[in-house]
Amino acid sequence: VPELPEVEAYAQIFARHAVGRTIARVRVLDDRVLAIRKSTLTKALVGKQFTSVRRHGKHLFAQAGDAWLRLHFGMSGDLTAGVERFARVVFDFDDGTCVAFDDMRLFGVVDVVRDPDDFIRERGLGPDPLAIGVREFRKRLAGKRGGIKAVLLSQEAIAGVGNLYADETLFRAGVHPSRPADKLTDAEVKSIFSTLRRVLADAIAGRRRGVMVEEREEGARCGRCGGTVRRAVVAGRTTYFCASHQK
C-alpha cells in the first residue's frame, strides 16, 4: 500500500518526468479512477504545462495553469515514466514522453482541484508530519481522546500516516498503541514525533523499506527487549506491538 514515503517518491518521479513539460493529450484508459468527468480533466490540463508538484500526506498535487491535478494512490497506485500494464490514465507530453498513473486494484483517484489548500481544509486533513515541528504536533494531539494509534491514523491530527508507519513509530518510541493521545507525557509526545519523522525519512531514503514489515510477527521475540510480539486489532486495524516495552 503506497504510504507517505512512496508518495514522496512519486512526487520526485513527477518532478523529474512531468514538471516543465506541456501536456499534449490525456488518455483515460479506465475512467473508474476518475473523481471528475473525463472532459473536465482534459479541459483543465491539455495545452498546459506542469509547473510544480507538491505532496501533502498521501496526496500528490501538480499545478498546470490555474488548476491542480490531484493523485491519490489508494491500495496499489503507482506512477511511472512510460505506460505499464495497469496504466489507467496517461499524460502525454508534446516532447513525446509521458507519465502514467498505474493502479491494478482501482482504489486510486485522479482528480482536478482549484486549490490544494482548500482541498486539504475541506477534507479536514491535518498538516503533513514532515512540514511541522513538535510544538504543532503537540497542539494537534491536544483534546484528542482516542488511542494514539487511532489518532495517528485518523488523518485529522496529521496527514499521511498509515498502519505500517504508525506501528513502527510506536514500537520504536516504546508507546502502547492504545494509550489515550491526550494523556501522553511531554517526553512521550516528543519521542513519538521525532521517531515518526525518522521512520518516514528512513523509508524515503529507502534504507529501511521491507525490513520493518518482516520484523513484526505474532509470537516472535522482540528484537529490542526480548519480550513477545503480540497481534491485536487497534483502531480497527491489525496491530503488532510488544507488550513488554510499549507502555
Assess whether 207 carries a catalytic annotation. no
Q: Does residue 227 touch Zn ion according to CB under 5 A?
A: yes
Nearer to Zn ion, 130 or 222 (CB): 222
> Which one of 10-18, 35-43, 159-167, 217-225 is the stretch in contact with Zn ion (CB under 5 A)?
217-225
Nearer to Zn ion, 28 or 220 (CB): 220
Assess whether 58 carries a catalytic annotation. yes
Contact pick of 222, 234, 235, 241 for Zn ion (by CB under 5 A): 222
Q: Does residue 215 touch Zn ion according to CB under 5 A?
A: no
Contact pick of 43, 176, 224, 230 for Zn ion (by CB under 5 A): 224
CB 107 within 8 A of CB 99: no
List the grid coordinates of 88. Answer: 489507467
CA distances from 184 to 64, 142, 161, 180, 223 (A): 43, 10, 19, 7, 24
Sheet of strand 23-28: strand arrangement: 23-28, 87-93, 98-103, 77-80
Nearer to Zn ion, 56 or 216 (CB): 216
Contact pick of 32, 225, 231, 238 for Zn ion (by CB under 5 A): 225
Encoded one letter per residue, x for contact with Zn ion by CB under 5 A and - for no contact, window 175-214 reads: ----------------------------------------
Q: Does residue 243 touch Zn ion according to CB under 5 A?
A: no
Question: Which residue type does 176 have?
Answer: H
Nearer to Zn ion, 75 or 225 (CB): 225
What is the SS3 assignment for 226? coil
Q: Does residue 242 touch Zn ion according to CB under 5 A?
A: yes
> Which one of 59-67, 97-105, 140-148, 215-223 is the stretch in contact with Zn ion (CB under 5 A)?
215-223
List the grid coordinates of 69. Answer: 491535478
CB 133 within 8 A of CB 73: no
> Which one of 146-154, 159-167, 219-227, 232-240 is the stretch in contact with Zn ion (CB under 5 A)?
219-227
For residue 80, what is the enclosing H or E element?
Answer: strand 77-80
Instruction: Please give the angle made by the CA atoms of 123, 126 and 130, to the nearest 5 degrees.
Output: 130
What is the SS3 assignment for 101? strand
Residue of 8, 55, 58, 179 marked catalytic? 58
Q: Does residue 151 touch Zn ion according to CB under 5 A?
A: no
The Cα–Cα gap between 101 and 76 comes to 10
CB 95 within 8 A of CB 35: no
Nearer to Zn ion, 209 or 245 (CB): 245
Residue 177 region by backbone torsions, left for phi larger than 0, else alpha for psi between -120 and 50, else beta: alpha
Assess whether 237 carries a catalytic annotation. yes
Q: Catalytic amino acids?
A: 2-3, 58, 237
What is the contact surface with Zn ion in residues (CB under 5 A)?
222, 224-225, 227, 242, 244-245
